[in-house]
Structure 1
Amino acid sequence: MLGLAQAIRISLGSIGSSKLRSALTTLGIIIGVAAVIANVSLGASFNQYFNDEIGAVGSNFIVIYSQNIDVFFDKELEIIKNTPGVEGVSPINQQMAKVTYMSVSRQIDIQGVTEDYDEVANFNLDSGTFLTDKDRYVAVIGADVAYEKFDKKISIKNPIDITFRREDGGVVTQSFIVKGVIQDPNTTFAQTGVEPEIRVFIPIETMNEILGRDDYGGFFIKARSLDVVRETADEIDKRLARSLGVPGRDLDNDDAKPYIVFDQIEILEQTNQLSAALTSLLTSVALISLLVGSIGIMNIMLVTVAERTREIGLLKSLGFSEKDVLSLFIIESMIVGLIGGIFGTILGIGVASIANNFLDLPNIFPVSLIFLGFFVSLVVGLVAGVYPARKAARMDPVEALRKE
């Protein structure tokens, strides 16, 4: 009976006797396993990157935008404030306006908000403080506006002039004192409409007074926790629909409502789907490399069986059973796969780390990937070695000994 230790020793001797051939055989496995490890790691890194980006936009946020004017008023604001699960809410109005500083003018998006906007949007300030509901003609500006848009940098206490265009065609210019500068959150999720680095924020009451309006363009809302974001968004949607006369059957039809609602969970789901699709695509390509590697192992094991025919005949004549010979060749194949898995995992970790640094992604490498690399390589070795091993085990010892 062939023991496991003896089988491993014989297999290692066989592999060591043909170092170049064994190295070339494991190369396919190394590349395949490395590709799987790197791609799964990249998928996890992309997923974490998307989550971080969304988290930078706001905390447990729900965003509502009206699709027409004169939709949202103080009544709707109170409805949202009184909805269970809502921790904070800021109404929003916005307009592209001309901002002038030191005789240089630029077109910049102006947003009217309340003091709650700071908490909902997770702002970090470079300097100064955010708006309060008692403020009048003060502004908080984004880092891009403060440091990039104009010939000279804008600091707190500097005056800026903002020229608004009213709905009646009139033009109003008002001077504002800069109260704070918001850091660039370095987020790419522009679809939320936040992007504080490129905006100027002023009190919404002041903005509405200048524009001669009393409605709101939308709301930026903070739910009590991420767990209740979807539930809270649905409840807000129902209450607003009821207030605005939208039939219950049209709740899921955005075209039938005068507003749009989306939340952090919805964006997370979309980005997770994107990340999963990307990971699946990359992993599918990597699995092709593994398939090629497994074919390489099978071919080399078939060559090994042919070259060691007399040895197989000798083993069987000495009393080794078919099971012993089968085990011997399967173990040799699995060792080749495992060696490829070890080097493939190391290579995959290195490639993933370099790619993450190059793409400026967080370095996410689950420890489970190491076990995945070893497991995949062992399975590949096992599957690729079964047919050659069966062929060797079924050889007739007399015919095998006659083989030249």
Structure 2
Amino acid sequence: MLSLKQSLEISLGSIGSSKLRSALTTLGIIIGVAAVIANVSLGASFNEFFNDEIGAVGSNFIVIYSQNDNIFFENQLELIRNTPGVVGVSPINQQMAQVTYLSTSRQIDIQGVNSDYAEVANFNMDSGTFLDDNDQYVAVLGAEVANEKFDRKISVKNPIEITFRREDGGVITQKFIVKGVVQDPNTTFAQTGVEPEIRIFIPIDTMNEILGVDYYGGFFVKAESLEAVGPTGEEIDKRLARSLGVPSRDLENDDAKPYVLFDQLEILEQTNQLSTALTALLTSVALISLIVGSIGIMNIMLVTVAERTKEIGLLKSLGYTKNDILALFIIESMVVGLIGGILGTAMGIGAALIVNNYLELPNIFPVEQIFIGFAVAIIVGLIAGVYPANKAANMNPVEALRKE
């Protein structure tokens, strides 16, 4: 009876005797495993990238806005501020205004906010400090505004002039002193509309006073934790709807509300679904390569059986059983799959590293899924070798010895 060691020695000898054919056989497995592992890694890396991007534009945030004026007032601000789970809230008003520094003027988005905005939006300061609730005619600039928009860079304590247009058609120009410059978060994710690098932030009370209004355009809210974002957002939604006269029967109907509310979890869910679908699609395509590779192994094993017919007959005549012959060819097929799995895993990790570095993605390698891809290669080798091995094991030894 053949031992495992003997079976491995015979299998390796058979593979080594026809190196080119063996190499071409394992190529399908190598490509399939490499593609699966690279795609799984890329999917995980994209998912982590999206999470980092979303985290860069806010921390446990809930965004509320309305396209209509005269919807949100101080009452709604206090209602949100007193909602359980809320640790910070900033009202927001914004207007595209002309900003002048020295002799250069540019159209820039001005946002009126309060001191909580920096915490909700995860701001880091390049220089100076953010607004506090006692500030009046001071401004905090985004990095792009301070460094690129004008002919000369704007620094802390420099004066700028902002020209606002009031609802009554009047125009007011007011001087502001730069209090700080917000660090560029280097995020490409703009769904929340934060994008601090291209904006100027001023105290919202000052902005409303200049514009002659007493309402807010929306709110940027921070929940106490990511887990609390969903429940806190739901509670804010209910309270706002009631305060704005939305009937109880329409509380679940978003179209019946004069505002839009979304949160960080909703965006994370959307991006996770996108990256999962992308990974599934790419992995499905890669699995086709594995199927092609398994067909290649089966084909080469059938050729091997045909070439070694006399050897099989000799082994059987020497007393080797059907199970011995079966094990011999299955092990040879699995070794081919194992070699393909090892090389494919290395190639897949290498390809993922190259693509991740090129796209500036984090390098994420789900170990358990890599092991699954590796195991699949061996299983493919096993399955592909069953039919040829069974054919060899069922050969009549007398007929096999007569085979020319």
Structure 1 unpaired stretches of 5+: none
Per the alignment, residue 235 of structure 2 pairs with 235
Aligned partner of 2:361: which letter? L
Once the 2 structures are TM-superposed, how far is the Cα of residue 370 of structure 1 from its aligned partner? 3.7
1:305-357, Cα deviation, whole Å (9 max, x unpaired): 10001111111111111111111111100000000000000001110000000
Paired residue for 1:188? 188
Instruction: Give the CA RMSD over aligned residues.
Output: 0.9
Q: For 2:179, what is the secondary structure of its paired residue?
A: strand
Q: Structure 2-normalised TM-score?
A: 0.99
Aligned-pair distance for 1:392? 0.8
Q: Once the 2 structures are TM-superposed, how far is the Cα of residue 368 of structure 1 from its aligned partner?
A: 2.3
- Which residue identity is paired with 2:105? S
Indicate yes or no: 2:94 matched with 1:89.
no
* Counterpart residue type for residue 301 of structure 1: M
Residue 351 of structure 2 is matched in structure 1 by 351
Measure how far apart 1:376 and its partner are: 1.2
- Cα distance in 2 for residues equivalent to 1:202 and 1:275: 37
CA distance in 2: counterparts of 1:310 and 1:116, whole angstroms: 84
Contact 1:344 1:373 in 2 (8 A): no
What is the one-letter code of the residue matched to 2:103? S
The structural deviation recorded for 1:285 is 1.2
1:374 matched to which residue of 2? 374
Does structure 1 residue 279 correspond to structure 2 residue 279? yes
**Equivalent position SS for 2:191:** helix
Whether 2:403 is the aligned partner of 1:365: answer no
1:254: Cα distance to partner? 2.5
Residue 39 of structure 1 and its aligned partner are, at CA, apart by 0.4
1:225-374 equivalent positions in 2, closer than 5 A: 225-374=225-374
Q: CA deviation at 1:369?
A: 3.9
* 8 A Cα contact 1:159 1:178, kept in partner: yes
SS in 1 for 2:56: helix
Counterpart residue type for residue 367 of structure 1: V
Q: Measure the CA separation in 1 of the matches of 2:145 and 2:251.
A: 39
Aligned residue identity for 2:366:
P
Offset at residue 10 of structure 1 (A) = 1.0
Q: 1:88-237 counterparts in 2 under 5 A?
A: 88-237=88-237
5+ residue gaps in structure 2?
none
Matched, 1:53 2:50: no
Q: What SS does the corresponding residue of 1:285 show, helix, strand or coil?
A: helix
- Aligned-pair identity in percent equals 80
**Cα distance, 1:123 vs structure 2:** 0.2
2:72 is the alignment partner of 1:72: yes
For residue 265 of structure 1, report the CA deviation from its aligned partner. Answer: 0.4
Residue of structure 2 equivalent to 1:20: 20
SS in 2 for 1:112: strand
In 1, distance between residues paired with 2:177 and 2:284?
57
- Per-residue CA deviation, residues 164-209 of structure 1 (Å, 9 max, x unaligned), is 1111111111110110000110112211010000000000000000
- Partner residue of 2:394? 394
Moved more, 302-311 or 318-327: 318-327
Deviations 1:137-189 (A, max 9, x none): 00000001011111111111111111111111111111101100001101122
State the number of aligned residues.
Answer: 404
Structure-2 residue corresponding to 1:39: 39
| Amino acid in the other structure paired with 1:87 | V
Distance apart, 1:67 and its partner CA: 2.5
* 1:270-317 Cα shifts (integer Å, max 9, x gaps): 000000011011111111111111111111001001000111111111
Alpha-carbon displacement from aligned partner over 1:344-386 (angstroms, at most 9, x marks no partner): 0000111000000000100111222442232011011011111
In 2, the alpha carbon distance for the partners of 1:109 and 1:221 equals 20
- In the alignment, residue 225 of structure 2 is paired with which amino acid? S
Amino acid at match of 1:35: A
Mapped partners of 1:197, 1:252: distance in 2: 36
Q: Give the whole-Å Cα distance in 1 for the aligned partners of 2:245 and 2:328.
A: 77
Runs of 4+ in 1 over 6 A off after TM superposition: none
Which has the larger displacement, 384-393 or 267-276? 384-393
Structure 1 residue identity aligned to 2:196: P
Mapped to 1, the partners of 2:354 and 2:251 lie a distance apart of 47
The CA distance in 2 between the partners of 1:249 and 1:36, in whole Å, is: 49
Structure 2 residue matching 1:216: 3-state secondary structure: coil
Aligned to 2:5: 5
The 2-side partners of 1:46 and 1:249 are apart by 40
Q: Which amino acid aligns with 2:291?
A: L
SS at match of 1:296: helix
Write the deviation string for residues 31-87 of structure 1: whole angstroms up to 9, x where unpaired.
110000100000000000000001001110000001210000010011101111001
TM-score using structure 1 length: 0.99
Asked if the contact 1:93/1:216 (under 8 Å) is kept, the reply is yes
Distance 2:321 2:250 in 1: 74
